[in-house]
Structures are given as C-alpha cells and as structure tokens.
C-alpha cells in the first residue's frame, strides 16, 4: 500500500478531484475536514464498499493516519488501489491548510 503525506495530498487536490474518503466519526468530521473528502465512517466501509471506485486510487484519511491505514490495508485486500494519508487531518490542520465544514 502506498502512503503519502498531507503536502502531497494538497498537490493532488490542486490538480483536480480525487477519490478521497475520510473514515473518522461524524463528530470528528463536523470539526473540519479536508475539502473534497467524502465521509464514510470506518465501521461502515464493508457495507459501502460497492460505492467506491474500482478504476482509480482511493485516498484514505482519518485524524492521524492509524484508522486510515487499517482501512487502506483492508481495501487493498479487496482489490482496490488504496493510499493512506500519513498524519491525517491532524497534520493537515497543523500546517494551516484550509478545512471544510
């Protein structure tokens, strides 16, 4: 599984839309998320797997990178190309990058 940091993510987002899923809880999501991310709570991933694109990389983010790593690993086991965002939304926020609400 590939892993990138939030600066690389920022560059990708500047190039156009990507499949970015935020696997945090609803309460965390409401405190701010990376613009363009779609909320799919970690516990619902298996039930929502059919909603994910199979023809492009899926970028997975959480607060610090732990849950997203678990989800990306599971997605890869299901045949998806998944990329973990190291540092997660916490790193994004710490660098002063914009948040959506």
Catalytic annotation, pick one of 20, 21, 62, 75 = 62
Integer-rounded Cα Rg, in Å, for the chain is: 12
Query: Beta-carbon neighbour count of residue 83 at 10 Å?
Result: 25
Contact 11, 50 (CB under 8 A): no
Q: What pLDDT score does 63 carry? A: 98
Q: Provide the residue ranges of all domains of the chain, joining segments of one domain with +.
A: 2-94
Specify the residue for token string 């970015």. Answer: 20
Q: Which of 99, 100, 9 is nearest to 60 (CA)?
A: 9
CA distance 48 to 51: 5
> What is the CATH code of the structural domain delimited by 2-94?
3.40.250.10
Q: Check if 62 is active-site.
A: yes
The separation between CA 77 and the C-alpha centre of its own chain, rounded to angstroms, equals 17
Average pLDDT over residues 44-66: 97
Contact 12, 18 (CB under 8 A): yes
| pTM for this model (two decimals) | 0.98
Average pLDDT over residues 16-22: 97
pLDDT above 70 covers a percentage of the chain that reads 100
Q: What pLDDT score does 69 carry? A: 98
Average pLDDT over residues 51-79: 97
Q: What pLDDT score does 85 carry? A: 98
Q: What pLDDT score does 55 carry? A: 96
What does the mean pLDDT of the chain come to? 97
Q: What pLDDT score does 18 carry? A: 98
């Amino acid at each position: 599984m590939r892993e990138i940091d939030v600066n690389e993510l920022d560059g990708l987002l500047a190039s156009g839309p990507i499949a970015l899923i935020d696997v945090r809880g609803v309460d965390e999501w409401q405190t701010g998320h990376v613009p363009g991310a779609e909320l799919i709570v970690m516990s619902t991933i298996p039930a929502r797997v059919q909603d994910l694109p199979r023809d492009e990389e899926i970028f997975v983010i959480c607060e610090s990178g732990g849950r997203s790593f678990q989800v990306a690993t599971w997605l890869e086991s299901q045949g998806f190309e998944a990329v973990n965002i190291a540092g997660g939304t916490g790193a994004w926020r710490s660098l002063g990058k914009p948040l959506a609400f």
